[in-house]
């Protein structure tokens, strides 16, 4: 088996950041400029396609030869580009260096991972790339000085082009060095297969109702214009959207009252609650509030990235969540779309298509809120097909119960599945039969629900508040009691936090490995390359990596678990701290991810074309059967298969068949 490392530099007039790689590559003016490669770690060669060189026949043959494993950083991009120019590539013949790094706990970005790995400067990605990419890879603005051209070619600046060739060459050098550094931590075969399936799903894409999307954009634009015009008439201001102008106007109208210092969301809400507010001031504040809600960003994102065949591709990033390996959303961010409570949906969608904003307001109230809720329904079945949506039921609650061996919870999931009621029953010693609508005991369900959502990963009062406990009618004074009662009812889960924390500290401090709850915690070292990791081997065989582990001191004076990772707030590689509850969360979410990944593989093997998936949910676009209920039942049964490594886990799934994506 040979290795072929590849890196491409390309041109397209489509902006890749907003439109995504698939639309970028589909552009008629798409072109591969430079093709850098190395076979079996030999010196890197660069083929200057933009200057008239051609790809050698032996390299062209190697692109589809099963005896050559093709490696690239973010290989999905090279895969797409080469498929467009040289014909279909074969996913199983490709390996992604970026995924290898992510799997091992390192950050994405060829330059970033090189620095984090401590690679020598001559092996790292060159820092000159961004300016060169801006110059050669995207259209330029026509000016008198550049002769009115809209694109920079090699001949326009030969010196820069020579630098670009070297930049392209060095990327392959960096990719090879990363692979050498990670050779002792290979990506398991089943994870590689999942990446290949993910590549196919992203290339397939999902169909979009562009008439509906354009209608939503039109309504949003008109609504913003109407509100601004009304505000101008009320205030006489040139730009009532200006905070300074509007503050001055409001303070003038309020006369002797204390002045308004800002117009932030909370300030506007408090002002609107005042009883003696002048009518025009109240309406202007309402307009400002409404304008703050007026957002068609998701619809704009769809418009930006939709391809010529009205399909959106590249919605998912494999291994996008570095700590757990879960997928991350890209472009439209399907991972965090609002739920759809609008009813009836069909009428609302029809009114949006016909841009009937007034009718929409009469029937549904807030136009903004309705548009927000309907964004899911922009994703539709291909003409003549239906969507099948199937998702796991309470997957994290099931996994943590199974992992900890919390038997009463497992019995709940093996029977009626009412975990909120059962949790409240355990916490407050009330028979579960009494916790039903119409009984005073039903009020306990809210406490059971918020406790289940907030406390599984060692959360306390703050977690309950963050999960909306106070917004749902609970008093802050009763929250400590809810925490205590939930922990008493779930003593095995509480023990799991402590056991994981203690085992992790022992492994980091003393080395070796610890086995508990079907997991293996270990300290792994590559002395030659200077890498050290704390790892957790999951029941599936996949590992979670925590780079350069160490012990610190927590705020209570005890030992704390530290490692190097990407701070999600600052986006910097830095020392992070974790603990038993957080490790539990990582593990549970990682296991839930593995269950979804295996379900996706089974569905794909059974011939169900998945178009995207979200957390614990898959969306399939397929020709309808004569019996749609039978089809849904088949999908749910495939989803509910318990892998051999998860014996005893009570999996459950449910779903629906329809014409468009939605979630209540």
d(CA 72, CA 173) in angstroms, rounded, equals 11
Are the beta carbons of 325 and 544 closer than 8 angstroms?
Answer: yes
Residue (of 387, 351, 405) closest to 614 by Cα position: 387
Q: What is the C-alpha separation between 478 and 446, in angstroms, rounded?
A: 13
Question: In Å, what is the CA distance from 547 to each residue of 235, 362, 532, 593?
Answer: 58, 56, 6, 21
Q: What is the model's pLDDT at position 460?
A: 94
Instruction: Check residue 473 and give its pLDDT.
Output: 80
Using the predicted structure, report yes or no on whether residue 401 has a pLDDT greater than 80: yes
pLDDT > 90? residue 563: yes
Do 461 and 479 form a contact (C-beta atoms < 8 A)? yes
Whether 511 contacts 528, CB under 8 Å: no
**Which comes out higher in pLDDT, residue 530 or 487?**
487
Tokens of 613: 């998936």
At 335, list the tokens. 């991972």
597-600, Cβ contacts within 8 angstroms, sequence gap of 24 or more: 597/194, 598/540, 598/643, 599/638, 599/639, 599/641, 600/194, 600/197, 600/201
Question: How much is the average pLDDT of 430-458?
Answer: 93
Domains of the chain: 2-187 (3.30.420.10), 205-380 (no CATH), 385-393+507-664 (3.30.70), 407-489 (no CATH)
Which H/E stretch holds residue 250? helix 243-253
pLDDT over 90 at 252, yes or no: no
Segment 283-304 shows an average pLDDT of 86
386-423 core/surface letters (b: 16 or more CB in 10 A; e: else) = bbbbbbbbbbbbbbbbbbbebeebbebbeeeebbbbbb
Average pLDDT over residues 134-149: 94
- Tell me the percentage of the chain whose pLDDT exceeds 70: 99
Distances (CA, A) of 356 to 225, 304, 360, 419, 466: 15, 24, 6, 43, 38
451: tokens are 């406790």
* Tokens (6 digits) for 342: 């609008």
Please give the Cα distance from 534 to 526 (Å, whole number).
12
Write down the H helix ranges in 56-121. 57-62, 75-86, 97-103, 110-116
SS percent in the chain: helix, strand, coil, step 5: 50, 15, 35
Say if residue 344 is preceded by a cis peptide, omega within 30 of 0: yes
For residue 258, the model assigns a pLDDT of 64
DSSP letter string, 333-379: -GGGPPP---SSHHHHHHHHHTT-HHHHHHHHS-HHHHHHHHGGGGE
Which pLDDT belongs to residue 294? 63
Confidence of residue 257 (pLDDT cuts 50, 70, 90): low
pLDDT for residue 168 is more than 70: yes
Token pair 């007034």: residue: 358
| φ and ψ of 468, to 5 deg | 95, 20
| Contact (CB, 8 A) for 164 and 9 | yes
Segment 484-488 shows an average pLDDT of 94
For residue 345, the Cα-to-chain-centroid distance in whole angstroms is 26
Give the 3-state secondary structure of residue 562: strand
User: What would the mean pLDDT of 25-34 be, rounded to a whole number?
Assistant: 97
> Which of 113-122, 168-177, 619-628 tops mean pLDDT?
168-177
Place of tokens 């790995």: 117
What is the b/e burial string over 51-81, where b = at least 16 CB atoms within 10 angstroms of the residue's CB?
eeeebeeebeebbeeeebbbbbbbbbbbbbb
pLDDT above 80 for 434: yes
Nearest to 135 by CA among 150, 116, 145, 117: 150
Closest Cα partner for 383 from 311, 331, 441, 318?
A: 311
> How far is residue 420's CA from residue 453's CA, in Å, rounded to a whole number?
9
Give me the chain's average pLDDT, please. 93
Mean pLDDT, residues 342-354 taken together: 95
With a cut of 70, say whether residue 77 has pLDDT above it. Answer: yes
Q: Which residue has the higher pLDDT, 336 or 13?
A: 13
Q: Are 406 and 492 in contact (CB under 8 A)?
A: yes
Q: How buried is 42 (Cβ within 10 angstroms: 0-12 exposed, 13-18 middle, 19+ buried)?
A: exposed
The per-residue pLDDT for 555 is: 80
Report CA torsion sign: 348, 351, 357, 363: negative
pTM, to two decimals? 0.92
578: which strand partners? Answer: 561
Predicted confidence band of residue 474 (pLDDT cuts 50, 70, 90):
confident
pLDDT at 322 over 90: no
Query: What pLDDT is recorded for position 256?
Result: 62
Predicted pLDDT of residue 128: 85
Continuous segment of H or E residues that includes residue 35: strand 31-39
Residue found by looking up tokens 């099948």 in the block: 388
164-173, 269-278, 432-441, 445-454: range with lowest mean pLDDT? 269-278
Cα–Cα nearest to 508, from 581, 561, 461, 568: 561
CA contacts within 13 A on the Cβ side of 409? 29
d(CA 322, CA 593): 12
**Any residues with CB less than 8 A from the CB of 287 and at least 6 apart, and which?**
227, 230, 231, 234, 240
Any idea which of 292-296, 354-358, 563-567 has the lowest mean pLDDT?
292-296
């Amino acid at each position: 088996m040979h290795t072929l490392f590849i890196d491409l530099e390309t041109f397209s007039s489509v902006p890749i950041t907003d439109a995504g790689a698939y639309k970028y590559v589909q552009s008629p003016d798409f072109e591969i400029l430079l093709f850098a490669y190395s076979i079996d770690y030999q010196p890197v060669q660069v083929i200057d396609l933009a200057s008239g060189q051609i790809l050698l026949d032996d390299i062209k043959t190697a692109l589809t030869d099963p005896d050559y494993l093709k490696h690239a950083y973010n290989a999905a991009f090279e895969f797409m580009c080469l498929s467009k120019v040289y014909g279909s590539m074969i996913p199983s013949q490709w390996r992604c260096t970026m995924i290898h790094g992510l799997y091992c706990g390192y950050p994405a970005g060829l330059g970033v991972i090189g620095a984090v790995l401590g690679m020598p400067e001559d092996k790292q990605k060159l820092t000159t790339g961004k300016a060169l990419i801006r110059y050669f890879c995207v259209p330029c603005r026509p000016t008198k000085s550049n002769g009115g051209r809209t694109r920079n070619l090699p001949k326009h600046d030969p010196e820069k082009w020579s630098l670009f060739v070297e930049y392209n060459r060095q990327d392959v050098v960096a990719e090879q060095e990363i692979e050498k550094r990670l050779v002792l931590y290979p990506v398991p075969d089943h994870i590689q297969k999942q990446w290949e399936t993910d590549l196919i799903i992203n290339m397939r894409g999902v169909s979009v109702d562009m008439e509906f999307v354009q209608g939503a954009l039109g309504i949003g634009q008109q609504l913003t214009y109407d509100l601004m015009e009304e505000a101008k008439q009320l205030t006489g201001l040139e730009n009532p959207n200006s905070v300074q102008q509007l503050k001055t106007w409001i303070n003038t109208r309020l006369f002797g009252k204390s002045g308004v210092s800002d117009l932030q969301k909370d300030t506007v809400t408090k002002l609107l609650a005042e009883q003696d507010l002048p009518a025009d001031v109240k309406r202007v504040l309402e307009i400002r509030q409404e304008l703050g809600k007026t957002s068609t960003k998701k619809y704009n994102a769809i418009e930006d990235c939709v391809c010529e065949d009205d399909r959106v591709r590249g919605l998912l990033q494999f291994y996008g969540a570095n700590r757990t390996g879960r997928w991350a959303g890209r472009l439209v961010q399907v991972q965090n779309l609002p739920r759809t409570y609008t009813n009836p949906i069909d009428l609302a969608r029809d009114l949006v298509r016909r841009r009937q904003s007034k009718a929409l307001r009469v029937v549904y109230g807030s136009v903004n809120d309705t548009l927000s809720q309907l964004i899911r329904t922009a994703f539709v079945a291909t003409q003549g097909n239906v969507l099948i949506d199937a998702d796991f039921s309470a997957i994290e609650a099931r996994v943590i119960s199974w992992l900890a061996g919390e038997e009463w919870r497992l019995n709940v999931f093996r029977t009626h599945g009412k975990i909120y009621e059962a949790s409240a029953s355990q916490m407050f010693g009330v028979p579960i039969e009494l916790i039903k609508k119409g009984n005073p005991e039903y009020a306990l369900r809210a406490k059971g629900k918020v406790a289940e959502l907030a406390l599984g990963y060692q959360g306390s009062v703050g977690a309950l508040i963050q999960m909306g406990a106070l917004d749902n009618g609970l008093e802050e004074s009763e929250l400590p009691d809810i925490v205590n009662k939930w922990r008493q009812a779930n003593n095995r889960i509480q023990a799991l936090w402590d056991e994981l924390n203690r085992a992790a500290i022992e492994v980091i401090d003393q080395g070796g490995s610890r086995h508990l709850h079907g997991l293996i915690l270990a300290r792994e070292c590559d002395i030659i390359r200077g890498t050290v990791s704390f790892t957790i081997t999951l029941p599936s065989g996949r590992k979670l990596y925590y780079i350069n582990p160490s012990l610190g001191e927590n705020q209570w004076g005890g030992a704390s678990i530290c490692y190097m990772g990407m701070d999600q707030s600052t986006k910097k590689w830095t020392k992070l701290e974790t603990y038993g509850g957080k490790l539990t969360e990582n593990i549970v979410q990682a296991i839930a991810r593995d269950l979804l990944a295996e379900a996706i593989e089974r569905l794909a093997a059974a011939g169900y074309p998945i178009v995207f998936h979200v957390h614990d949910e898959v969306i399939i676009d397929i020709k309808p059967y004569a019996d749609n209920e039978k089809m849904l039942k088949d999908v749910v049964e495939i989803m509910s298969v318990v892998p051999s490594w998860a014996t005893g886990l009570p999996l459950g799934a449910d779903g629906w068949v329809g014409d468009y994506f939605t979630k209540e």
